[in-house]
Each structure stands twice: as C-alpha cells, then as structure tokens.
Structure 1
C-alpha cells in the first residue's frame, strides 16, 4: 500500500501519477484550511521527505507587514501531512499565511475574513476526479476563481488510484490548489479514495468479500486512517470523535461560514452492506435487475444508512443556529437517480450503492434535513441532477443537487426512464424530456427537475455552484460544463439550470 510514497520511495521508478522527486524548495505541496467557531485548522501537505530531512513544518502569518511564526507541527511519514490548529481565531480580517519547511520550501496563501455580512454566500462543489485523465484542471481553476465562491467542497473520489493515495492526493492538490489556496475548503473521501469500488462502511468492520458488498473496509485500517487524515484533518472537530471498529476515526461535523451552517456527513461510514442481508436480485448483491421485485423485501429491520450517531447529530444540528441558512454536504444522493450505468446496455433497476437504500434510513435522514430547512449537495453519481425528494408524498422532502463528475468520459450514467416519458408535474422551464414525478427503483418518491446525460457538453463533466441568498431564503443551483468559459458573457450552463428553490 502507498508504495510510491513509503520506505525507500526515492528508489521507485517513475510513475504515471506524479513526479515525487521534486526540488527540495518545493516539498510543501499545498495547504488546505477551514475556519469555524473561532478555530482555524490547516493541513500542510508535503511531498515525501528523505530520512535526513526534518519532519517539522512551520506556519507563519503576516501581521503588520512582518511574517511571524505561529506554530510548528510534525509531519506524519504515512501520508506526509501535518495539522495546525489555532484557537481564538479573529475571522474579521484577511490574513496572509505561509507554510514553511527547512530554509527554502514555502507555500503561501490567504485566510479569508468571514463573509458574514454578505447577503449571498456561494459554494462550488466538485466530485469524481479521474485516473484516466492526468492533466491539469485549468478550466476549473479559471472558472471557479472567476466566480469567486466563499467556500469550495470536494465531495469525494479526489483519488481514483486505490493503492496509491498519497501520490494521487498530491496530484489532486496540484490540479486544484489554486482554487483553495485563498479560500476555505471542505474535502471528504469516498470509496475510491480509500481503495474500494464501493463502500458500505458498516461501522468500520473488516470486509472479506471481493467488491466489499459484505460491508466494511477492504484495506488496512492505517491506510484508511491516512486517507482520512490527509483529506479531513482540517475540518472542524467532529461532533462525536469516538472511533469506530478497527480504530478508524470519524469526521462528521458542521461548519459555520458566512452566516450559513453546513453539516458535513459521512453517509457511507455506518451504512449496511447488502451481501447476506437481503434477497439477491441480480448477478451482484448490490445490483437489482429484477423490475418485478418487491422494494419492501430489501428494506429490512436492522439495516442502517447514516447510523444513530449521525441521526442524533443531524437532529441537534437542525435545531441549532435557527437564524442561519442550512446546507447538508455528503458523498452521494439520497435516492436512485440513474437508470443506466457505464454503458447504454447496462440498465439497473436499482443500485444499492446509492443512498436510496435502505429506504427507512433514507427517509429518517430526509425528514431531519427537511426539518432543518436545508438543501443537500453531493457528488459521486457521475450524473448531475436536481431532485426534490419525497418521503410520504411527492415534494415533501428537501431539495438535492448532485453535481457532475470532474471527468465523465470513462464511467458515465444516464437518467433514462424505460418508457421514455415525462412524469406527472414535469419541469416546464426546460426542454429536457424526462422530468416530473417518478418512483426510483426502491419505490422512493422523487421529482426530477434537471439532469445531465453524457451526450451533453463535456460528456456531462463539470461542477456545481450554489448561491445562497440569506435575505430571500433561497438556493440557486448552477451547473457548469468542464469546457465552459464563465469569463465570457455568452457562457451557458447545462440545459435545465439554473434552478432557484425556497429553503423552507
């Protein structure tokens, strides 16, 4: 595991992910930070170090025109990251920072003032990077910095390299660091980041089945801990830090920024694996191909989605800061939003990797999100959608925006109803043919408002931008193609966007 970045890494042959043998004045690759509740947390990410090099990194702030060292931290040789934590942070001013290693290595950026006085707070959201496209992400960097969101959210699969997280995470940093050098960023790992095709975490148990559909984690817990440390250590402190099985940690928490309260979920860490727990309805335990099956037959007692710990967190979070708009951030959506997976002839009736299952757990989560008057932003699906969830009736649940994949020309998904008909109450503001009220493959009620199939611009690849209007109490979802140039006056979003919804 992580062989490119451990042991005598300098003796490894060149690899297709990234050149790890950088000049020593470049060993600080990037920093990533959040500010919330008067606490600044910043992770420093380094390239692998030689045995004789110091493991100390230093954090400096520019104060009254002079650089002052504030803290030092120790680099962990597993993952090559270090964490700074500064209490009693004054978030009313912009503060330049730099991370230093040795005499010459340095990374500089800006810790932004809290935009609490702005009426509109915006958050960019991205998901699903690719190991099939190692190029830089210049279009994303240009567009996001031009739109200048207050916060950026990476919803998972920043790495698709399974056994080489450190190298892939460094590559991700090179691709996107100019988007988070000068603004706070949330990143959460998903299944590919921790080396699995799919993840049903089941409270941290050890998975012993190929494909991990028995639930749990395939790889060594120290590898999982390393991934989570690199990607999430800079998040606000977890709501309840009690580790799960195998000593794996948790990071679910909330972040208050700009007068908006963001809940950050781990929607797969406690989720039950399907293998051996429900009747199998296809060649794989997690793929249902029998359209005649009874959805109730797989929604069984004892199955878990978010788990009681996170449900308690969501309930508490929904009741706190009632004056603030609320947003839930997670890895994937809470329904089955795709009919076709990978290629046109691979139609699935239901995919248990989605959070449409188990239905009882899904409905518990949605009721709490709705009670908080929150909207939901997620990634993972390689299919951008805006859906109003339904629990008891169509339209009685929260709005959900699943953003596109960063790169979407290697494993695409389609929203393609088999009868090729619009549902009741279609969206009349778009030319998209298949909008309206539907039941997903689990019998969940969903109202499809917009979707981006891979025949679209950039093969459906792109990113999302959500604008939260505090005065009006609305969220506007924007969806931009990878090859769009938002600096041009004639730039167009994907068909169906933007969509503005009331947060109520």
Structure 2
C-alpha cells in the first residue's frame, strides 16, 4: 500500500490566510464558503501541529505505463495512462478513473477533493462539449464499489469545460476561466451543498449546487469526457491530470481495497509438474520485468510477457501428496508486493469438480457466488469459456490497433480474475477461451485460418493471431503440456491435452479451433434443409489431430472407473428456444450437434466406457443428459452448466412438455435428458444494466454453476446444479442427481 502524500489546500492567489488572536483561521473575501470550511481545517491543523494534515488519499504518479496505480481503476484501461509522472486521459463517454481505497459512505458529512489538470488538445470543434474534472456519488444497481466500476448507472459530475465554463451537473457558470493553462479544481461537498472552485494563475471562478444527500454516496473518480466514443479512426482528445487528492469524514478508508501490480495466479499440477501462471497489471517498460516464485524453499524467476502481462513458472518433481504454500513477489516503485496461495495435494477420496461458464458481466463481482464456491471447497475448477464478453462494462469494443485491443481485453479479463482470484490461488484450474473471449460472436476456427473478409461464419479468426495467442496465454498457459503442440494455421497455439488428477483421467478438447465454418460447407439458404442435408460428412469438428488423441486416450482409459472430457460446448442441440424473445429455434450451428457425422465419430470413441462424463458450458442454461449414437443411452453422460451471469437467452422447453426422457435434436442426434436448468419465463425482458437488480436478474435468467462429485470407489457421480445465490443456496428443480458409472 502506498502512503498518501500530505493534502495541500490551495487558496486563490488573491486571498490571504489570517489567524485571529484566538487561533481561528479564516480567509477574507472568499465567496466559496464550502471550500473555506475545508481550508480552515487544514490551516488549524497547520497552526496546532506545525505541519500540514495528511490527505485521506493523494496521487503518487511516477514513470510511464498504461496501468495507473494499485489504488485506482481505469475504465477503460486503454483510456488512461501515466506519462512522465502525469496522468493522461483520453476523453470519451464513460471514461473514469475510480479511487479504490476511498468511497463516499456518509454523505451527511463533508469531503473535498482537489486536482490540477490541463487540456492537451487545442484545435477542437465544439470545445463546450469537452470536459474534465470529478465524478462523485458514482452508483450502480449494487452497493459494491467494485460493481460500480463497470456498472455505473448514475453519478454527479463537476469540472471544467474546454471553453472555460465550470459546471456541477447542469449548473453552469456564466463567466469563464482560462482553460489553456493548468487549472486547479477544488470540489467541496458538505451536507448536500457542493461547491467547485477553479484557480488558474490569478484567476478564480466558482459554482455551487444543492444535491440530494443519498445521491452523493458512492465512488469518487476523475472524469474526462467527450461526446465521441474512443476510436482509432480519430485523434484522441487528451487531458493531463498533474495530481489528485481528497479528504474528509464523508470518505471511508479501506487500505486493503487495492488491485495490483500482482493480480492473481492460476495453476495445474500433473505428473509432479507444476505450471503456475501469474497475471500482472499493465506495467511499463521501465518497471521491473521479472517476478519471483518462492515454493518449497526454491526461488524461481520468470519474465513478464509484454503482451499478456503474465509470468509463467514451471517446477518439475513437486510432490503431489503434500500441500505446498507459495508466494509470488514483485518489486514496484520501491515497494515489495506479494501474492500467496497453496498448491494442494491431490485428494484421495471423491473428487469435487466445479464448473462455470459465460459471465456476461452485469453481476460483477459475483460476491455471493464466490462465497458459496469457497464454502463448497472444490478440488478443481473448470471455466469452459466466455470469461468475458465484448461489451462487458458498457463500452465500445476496440479491435484496432492491436495494443488497444489487447488492453480492452485485459481490462475485462482482469475483472474475471478479480472475481475468482481467491478460488484460483488455492486449487488447480482449467480455463479455456470460447468465442467471445477472442471477440467473436461465434467461432468456427476452420483450423486457425484468417476468417475470409472478416466473416466468422465462413470459418476462421476475425482478430489477428497475435491477439488470439495473447488471450490463450492469459487463460491456458498454465495447462498441462499438449502431447501434440504443433501450432494451428497462422501460428495460433493449441492447448488440447490429457492429464490425470486424483487418479481420474481427463482429456481437454478444443471444439472451436478446428471446426468447419458453416458458410464454407453449406448453402446460403438453409431454412428448408433437412437434418440429412445439413450433415456434411467431410466437415470437421475436432479435426484429425484431436480425433487421433481422443482415440488413443479412449483406448488407454477404457477400464477407468471414471473419466472426464472437458470442452467448450455440448455435443448436441440441447436448446429448443433462443434469442431475446425466446422463440423456438431450428438450427444452431454453434453447438456440437453439428456437424452430425464427426460428432458421432467422436462419441463412438468414448462409448467404450460408460463411466465417461463430458462437461461443458456455452449455452446459457444447464442440462444433464446421456448422449445416444446408434440408440438412446449408448453414449457418454454430458453435463452442461449455465452461465454465471446469463446473457443471450436459451432454454430446453420441448413441445411435448416432457422435459426428461428420450428426445431427438434438430440434427437427428439422440439424447436422454435426466434434468434441465432453465430460465424463468419472461426473464429475457429484464434489464440488469438499467433498472433490474443484477443478482435477481441472474437468478431469474437461470444463471448458476455446476458441481460434480466423482466417487471412483463407489462408481457414482453426483451432479449438483446450483442457481445463482440470493440468500440461501438453492439447486434447480431436478437436482442433485446421483448416477451410477457402471453402465447399469
């Protein structure tokens, strides 16, 4: 934690500080009573102690980097940076720099905040539309300072426009002050009365406004605004902030509410080989580029990758029958930072696997869900994809240039890690990206090629290979080594692999990267095609390399008392309704029910062991079923978990009304449904970013997670499907289910 510098109360140059005979400080001829009150406090402290009072917080910006500091959060990450000790902001809608360690929690009391800023852009049309200053009372639909960072729905703004006008919300000054030089802004709020004073040289100007008390409560931030969204196609309008401080009894002080420079860690342990990946903030080139891992008395160093901002550690021959505490250390700006965790010994009894997918972001930081998972204490966790979504946080997606796109992704992925880091640090995790993680609505990777003309349905990647590899490094670098590591087209890395944990064999499949693009193998007009017409036998699903690995693994594990297959999505079309109106849907080429022939080919390889459990996410609802190949029930079990915060709605509402039992999907794939976790009808109309409480929205939309307890000795698996928690944890109807794994 950085220690704040002293708070300096700045008077206009034309004012004089006077001390009366009784020691009272007052400022003559000052029109701003609110600012005067705070300056009197500072002056009295100076007289009585001989030194200035310390601010509750004060900036200490040094050097040049994209990430600002541990006690602030930039929304968005690409919109704020430090440059030679100054804070540079790119003005655009919703661009805020939040203070993390201090919030306005008692609006009946007073606070003040001060900054000095300068507009760097000069030749701007409509300068009255450009502004910078403070945002306060920044609120969301949840009373959590972290939720507000990307879920802001209301705030007050006070600052200066580029034309020199001061404002508090819609209250403006008629006079103007020079805005071409550095301007010091002092905002003082007391009892609902807000006063903003601006000082530039010997000029001064102020504006006042009365505000409802409860509207003042919330986050405190700097803002830099222009009406145009950030775009690489136009020159950014930039503002420099030279310093920022604040104090007052209205502010709460939570020194522990920092984030960075070490953000979190994620690891796996397979065949006594530890791979531990550490995520860092977007540090600068002048910062230390190495981190240290201390474990079992050993110290390992690793370089921080300049794109993904990750440091990967590898340690061979680590005893997997014992716990191993570890610490990651990093020195930043003269301070040593440490992140600690535990490499768990492999469990001897039943294995508990928790599974998650599809966080649409509106319920960040999922506090109740995380608390429940920590209580469940799973042995291993699986995140099946869509850890982020393109519009996570309400900002426009940035695809170009590459560095901006990377920063756009990292800000969103940082929020995933912030949510789950206390789960990830103490147990192995399998994390894999899906389509939205690489900024695509759907992904048919077509072997890793470039998507023709940027059209995702043709098959291929829309974003450059460097971006895809960066995403994969953040999410998958810690996975056990792939037995077939040759990159796909464009040099895009692969991560499909096999591993054992607690005596249970696992295979991890990439069911997106090699799948054929539908418009490359199907006619444009598919409305009236039959299931036979839609099936393209030569189309790929897993690709030849993964099928070969699957065949070897299936043969080697045919007698295992239990085995697990992990991939992004389920091998059938398990939904009947989809879309914002939840209408009945016909074909969904995104699921692994298509293409039918390679789907069956993969499932036939797994049919040699009835104790096969396939685990997936992606579809935004949950289901437990047994696949059919030649007949109902002759394939593996499949457990698909809902999203942790469902967005695009889907449901399993068969026309017969019979949710369970034998069914056939649109592609002719057989499936025996055991239980389903559907959204509530009507939940597709909820607005969690505007009016409806995010937690209740997540609950009604059928969000949640899955937990599998695999008991190899008893040859059973118990499937829990938990609803998004409100108060008391509750499972979806039809769960839990305990299934024998002996095929009987």
Q: TM-score, normalised by structure 1?
A: 0.88
Contact preservation (8 Å) 2:383, 2:432: yes
Structure 1 residue 9: deviation in Å?
4.2
Q: Which structure 1 segments of 5+ residues have no match?
A: 283-288, 423-433
The match for 2:570 is 333
Distance 2:322 2:345 in 1: 5
Distance 1:262 1:243 in 2: 22
The match for 1:451 is 676
Q: Report the CA distance shift for 1:89/1:359 in structure 2 as closer, same or farther (over 3 A).
A: same
Matched ranges for 1:68-147 at <5 A: 68-102=297-331, 103-115=335-347, 117-118=348-349, 120-133=350-363, 135-147=364-376
Q: Tell me, yes or no, if structure 1 residue 178 matches structure 2 residue 412.
A: no
Higher strand share: 2
Distance 2:520 2:279 in 1: 40
Matched ranges for 1:152-167 at <5 A: 152-161=381-390, 163=405, 164-167=408-411
Structure 1 residue 467: deviation in Å?
0.6
Q: Report the CA distance shift for 1:345/1:31 in structure 2 as closer, same or farther (over 3 A).
A: closer
The match for 1:429 is none
Residue aligned with 1:193, SS: helix
The match for 2:470 is 226
Contact preservation (8 Å) 2:537, 2:596: no
Structure 1 residue 416: deviation in Å?
1.9
The match for 2:592 is 355
Contact preservation (8 Å) 2:440, 2:462: yes
Q: Report the CA distance shift for 1:49/1:386 in structure 2 as closer, same or farther (over 3 A).
A: same
Distance 1:56 1:7 in 2: 26
Give the total of aligned pairs.
469
Higher relative contact order (CA 8 A, sep 6+): 1
Contact preservation (8 Å) 1:17, 1:168: no
Distance 2:568 2:473 in 1: 17
Q: Tell me, yes or no, if structure 1 residue 500 matches structure 2 residue 738.
A: yes
Structure 1 residue 137: deviation in Å?
1.4
Q: Choose the corresponding residue for 2:289, options 51, 55, 72.
A: 55
The match for 1:471 is 713
Q: Tell me, yes or no, if structure 1 residue 214 matches structure 2 residue 458.
A: yes
Q: Tell me, yes or no, if structure 1 residue 398 matches structure 2 residue 636.
A: yes
Contact preservation (8 Å) 1:124, 1:464: yes
Structure 1 residue 8: deviation in Å?
8.1
Structure 1 residue 260: deviation in Å?
1.1
Matched ranges for 1:255-266 at <5 A: 255-266=499-510
Contact preservation (8 Å) 2:355, 2:707: yes
State the Cα deviation string for residues 404-440 of structure 1 (Å, max 9, x = none).
11102x31111122x3432xxxxxxxxxxx2221110
Q: Which structure 2 segments of 5+ residues have no match?
A: 1-65, 68-75, 83-87, 97-148, 152-220, 222-255, 391-396, 398-404, 682-698
Contact preservation (8 Å) 1:26, 1:106: no
The match for 1:235 is 479
Distance 1:175 1:241 in 2: 31
Contact preservation (8 Å) 1:333, 1:354: yes
Contact preservation (8 Å) 1:350, 1:440: no
Greater C-alpha Rg? 2
Q: Choose the corresponding residue for 2:539, options 303, 315, 322.
A: 303
Distance 2:290 2:553 in 1: 37
Residue aligned with 1:454, SS: coil
Contact preservation (8 Å) 2:722, 2:731: yes
Contact preservation (8 Å) 2:325, 2:341: yes
Distance 1:123 1:338 in 2: 24
The match for 1:375 is 613
Q: TM-score, normalised by structure 2?
A: 0.60
Indicate the larger mover: 180-189 or 161-170.
Answer: 161-170
Q: Choose the corresponding residue for 1:314, options 516, 540, 550.
A: 550
Contact preservation (8 Å) 1:58, 1:69: no
Residue aligned with 2:328, SS: strand
The match for 2:277 is 43
Structure 1 residue 473: deviation in Å?
1.4
State the Cα deviation string for residues 238-282 of structure 1 (Å, max 9, x = none).
120000100001000122111111111101110000013113345
State the Cα deviation string for residues 431-478 of structure 1 (Å, max 9, x = none).
xxx222111011111112211221085420000000101112121111
Across the aligned residues of Structure 1 and Structure 2, the Cα RMSD in angstroms comes to 2.4
Distance 1:127 1:12 in 2: 34
Contact preservation (8 Å) 1:108, 1:181: yes
Q: Tell me, yes or no, if structure 1 residue 460 matches structure 2 residue 665.
A: no
Q: Report the CA distance shift for 1:24/1:435 in structure 2 as closer, same or farther (over 3 A).
A: closer
The match for 1:414 is 651
Matched ranges for 1:245-324 at <5 A: 245-282=489-526, 289-290=527-528, 293-321=529-557, 322-323=559-560
Residue aligned with 2:583, SS: coil
The match for 1:431 is none
Distance 1:32 1:38 in 2: 16
